[in-house]
Amino acid sequence: MNEKIFRVLFLCTGNSARSILAECILNRLGHGNFRGYSAGSQPKGEVFPAVQTFLERNNYDTSGLRSKVWDEFAEERALEIDFVFTVCDNAAAEVCPVWPGHPLTAHWGVPDPATFVGSEVESQQFISSVHNLLETRIKAFLDIPFESLDLPSLKKRLDSIGAID
């Protein structure tokens, strides 16, 4: 019996830090049942170097990471996405494309490591705190009993995850 693999798209304006972190976390914790992707409305064109360093130091697979425009996931032939989570306030306020499959959406805003000002050590500590917040939220998402919730209840649960500190 084939289990469904849920596809999750994390959005941020620049797609260089927060959404990249979330993509990596979900792909590590999703145990093959969830697949994370990330994109941005105005991608920076590269992964923020301090985030790349953090991910590598913490043994995340970074081989396929890249900063990409969200249009890739809105094309007619794009993968059907099940969930879309915005992780920055700018992306949440933008008019998003119509996603194939009409996924459920929620806003899970977190601070931006790419705008943090401080030493390299302080930057890595800040990235670690953002990572931990995203990891906590993603774990809460993975614990949802999807099969036992109706759509309104699931949407309410997804929205409540964005309030976890």
The strand order across the sheet containing 83-86 reads 34-39, 6-11, 83-86, 104-107
Q: Could you say which DSSP state residue 69 is in?
A: B
Catalytic residue flag (residue 88): yes
Token pair 């990572």 in the structure block, residue: 131
Host H or E run for residue 57: helix 49-57
How many angstroms separate the CA atoms of 5 and 32, rounded? Answer: 7
Q: Looking at 78, 96, 144, 154, which residue is catalytic?
A: 96
Residue 26, phi then psi, degrees to nearest 5: -60, -40
Q: Looking at 8, 9, 11, 12, which residue is catalytic?
A: 12
How many angstroms separate the CA atoms of 60 and 51, rounded? Answer: 11
Q: Looking at 25, 81, 88, 134, which residue is catalytic?
A: 88
- The helix/strand/coil state of 9 is strand
Catalytic residue flag (residue 96): yes
Q: How many CB atoms lie within 10 A of CB 50?
A: 17
Catalytic residue numbers? 12, 88, 96
